[in-house]
Amino acid sequence: MSLRAGALSLLLVGLGASGCRTADAADTSAAASGISRGPSAARPAASSATARAFYADRFSKQPYMPDVMALGRTLFFDPVLSASGKLACASCHDPRFAYGPPDAEPRGDGLRAVPALRYLQSVPRFAEHYYDESVDESADQGPTGGHTWDGRADTLHDQAKLPLTSPAEMANDSVASVVEKVKHAAYAPRFRELFGGNVFDEPTRAASALLLALEVFQQSPKDFYPYDSRYDAYLRRQGELTAPERRGLSLFEDPKKGNCAHCHPSQYRHGSAPQFTDFGFAALGVPRNPAVVRNRDPKFFDLGLCGPLRTDLRSHPEYCGAFRAPSLRNVAVRHVFFHNGVFHELERAVEFYAQRDSNPRKWYGKAAAFADLPADARSNVNAEAPFGRKVGQAPALDANEVRDVVAFLQTLTDADLR
């Protein structure tokens, strides 16, 4: 199974994979991920299976989870966690912006836009072949799931490691060095109370406690998935949408118009509130962002699933250029859109979908379409509606319709952000 771009394009790219490899060679920060994805060794012995498990009992005291959640909140807002002592998780993942970036400024090396951290509680682990038991469980949905734009972190604690040690972000040389700072922080006694007096005796145990606390904080329902947008109220028959919002919803769902709900489902699925993402991957062919430092090298391409940050799928040219569909909940409070943050206004992002293929000149100028991908990966780009129009055809959505879709997207903002 493949990306949802469609099988046709995949057949075309199977022969030339070199573009992806070139990009990988340029990669320097992949090692920061700390995630091993190599072919599995022989099945580990019984004892080691449990010993290696992150969630196994490794603390001398069983922590009470609501307290761990509170400790995680403290850590999340503490700049001590960064090498500079100036950058907290919350600096880039600002609670006033759905735990996303507070402005349009590039962060770190600016390679990828800072994702929002709300509504990540049901992100499945990454799978190349994904069967959604809650929809049509017979269908292979292709690559799906995982945290970050390329899905390379399976859990929130795996994810938490990435920014702590990424040179472009908090820039610690190891998680152990973060632990060393936490050990001397004002809340260190709290660690001992929750996880046992010996929690700092072993760096790995203390690192587990630290990552667990960050993970558990991000599972706080009222902070991270309140489901209290105006649209949630509308679905529960507790509120109304305005006429433009209703029109926007209809365009959002119409397979012949926006077709947005195809990848960003907007309705309850079997009793579960809509996540506005199916956690799938797609290559959208967004324009190259000149603000990305590494883009100064014309041979550099960020190829998402097949590199450079992710390293286990380099040999899959059919995945090059694909990034995970983010949730559109709270999208209206964002200032950067798509994986490279090339657009800074929501309306512009919606226009891109509506006009990418009917008016490519507007998006790519004199460059070739999809110029942010190497030539041999451009056939991976999704051509399903609203894409797939011919140059000069009417756009999938006209100006009024784009405005209506934006009006609808604004109803997805949680109550505390309005």
Partner 1 sequence: MLTLRTVPSFMCLLLPVLTWTACSDDDAGSSTGPGAAGAHATGEAGEAGETNAGKVGNGSAGEAGSTGDGELGGAAGASEAGAAGEAPVAVGGSGGAAVGGNGGTAIGGSGGAVAVDPLVGAIDTVVFVYAENRSFDGLYGNFPGAHGLSDVLDAQGNPTAAYLPQKDRDGVTVLPKLPKTWGGATAAGNPTVIAEALTDNLLNQPFSIESGFVTNGGLPLTTADVTRDLAHRFFENIMEVNGGTNDQFAAFLDAGGLTMGHFDYSKSAMYKLAQQYVLADNFFEGAFGGSFLNHQYLICACAPQAPASFVASNLPSINVLGAANGKGVPQLATNPTSPASALDGPPSFKTGNIAPLDYFGAGDGYRAVNTMQPPYQPSGNAPVVNALDLRYANAAAATTLPAQTQTTLGDLLSAKGVSWAWYASAWDAATTDGRQASTAPRMVIYAPSTPKGSPDFQPHHHPYNFYAAFDPAQHPDVRTAHLKDYTTLVTDIASGALPHVVYYKPTGNLNQHPGYANADDGDAHIADLVSKLKAGPQWAHMMIVITYDEYGGQWDHVAPPKGDKIGPGSRIPALIISPYAKAGTVDHTQYDTASISRLVTRRFALPVLSGLASRDAALVANGQSKMGDLSSALNLP
The site for partner 1 (CB under 8 A) is made up of: 1, 37-40, 43-50, 52-57, 62, 64-66, 68-69, 121-122, 124-129, 131, 133-140, 154-155, 215-216, 219-221, 225, 227, 232, 235-237, 253-256, 265, 267-275
Q: Are 285 and 378 in contact (CB under 8 A)?
A: yes
Q: Please, how many CA atoms are within 13 Å of residue 117, restricted to the half-sphere of its CB?
A: 28
User: DSSP 3-state helix, strand, coil percentages of the chain (rounded to 5)?
Assistant: 40, 5, 55
Sequential DSSP letters for 149-186: TT--BSSHHHHHHHHHH-TTTT--S-HHHHHHHHHTST
Q: Are 112 and 149 in contact (CB under 8 A)?
A: yes
* Continuous segment of H or E residues that includes residue 211: helix 203-217
Q: Which of residues 133 and 297 has its CB atom nearest to partner 1 in the complex?
A: 133
Query: Closest approach of Cβ 369 to partner 1, in Å?
Result: 25
How many C-beta atoms lie closer than 10 Å to residue 305's C-beta? Answer: 29
Find all residues with CB under 8 Å of 394, minimum gap 6, and list them. Answer: 358
Q: Which of residues 265 and 341 has its CB atom nearest to partner 1 in the complex?
A: 265
Query: Closest approach of Cβ 216 to partner 1, in Å?
Result: 4
Query: Closest approach of Cβ 156 to partner 1, in Å?
Result: 9
Q: Which of residues 154 and 351 has its CB atom nearest to partner 1 in the complex?
A: 154
Q: Are 145 and 156 in contact (CB under 8 A)?
A: no
Interatomic CA distance for residues 309 and 269, integer angstroms: 33
Sequential DSSP letters for 309-347: S--TTTT-GGGTTBEEPPP-TTGGG-S-BSTT--B--HH
Task: Give residue for tokens 């049901």.
Answer: 122
Q: Which of residues 131 and 187 has its CB atom nearest to partner 1 in the complex?
A: 131
Q: Which of residues 68 and 349 has its CB atom nearest to partner 1 in the complex?
A: 68
Q: Which of residues 66 and 85 has its CB atom nearest to partner 1 in the complex?
A: 66
Query: Closest approach of Cβ 40 to partner 1, in Å?
Result: 4
Query: Closest approach of Cβ 175 to partner 1, in Å?
Result: 17
Interatomic CA distance for residues 369 and 171, integer angstroms: 35
Distance of CA 70 to the CA centre of its chain: 24
Amino acid sitting at position 144: T
Query: Closest approach of Cβ 226 to partner 1, in Å?
Result: 10
Q: Which of residues 27 and 254 has its CB atom nearest to partner 1 in the complex?
A: 254
Q: Which of residues 262 and 335 has its CB atom nearest to partner 1 in the complex?
A: 262
Q: Are 131 and 139 in contact (CB under 8 A)?
A: yes
Query: Closest approach of Cβ 306 to partner 1, in Å?
Result: 16
Amino acid sitting at position 181: K
Q: Which of residues 137 and 297 has its CB atom nearest to partner 1 in the complex?
A: 137
Query: Closest approach of Cβ 270 to partner 1, in Å?
Result: 2
Q: Please, how many CA atoms are within 13 Å of residue 217, restricted to the half-sphere of its CB?
A: 21
Query: Closest approach of Cβ 83 to partner 1, in Å?
Result: 28
Distance of CA 270 to the CA centre of its chain: 24
3-state secondary structure of 359: coil
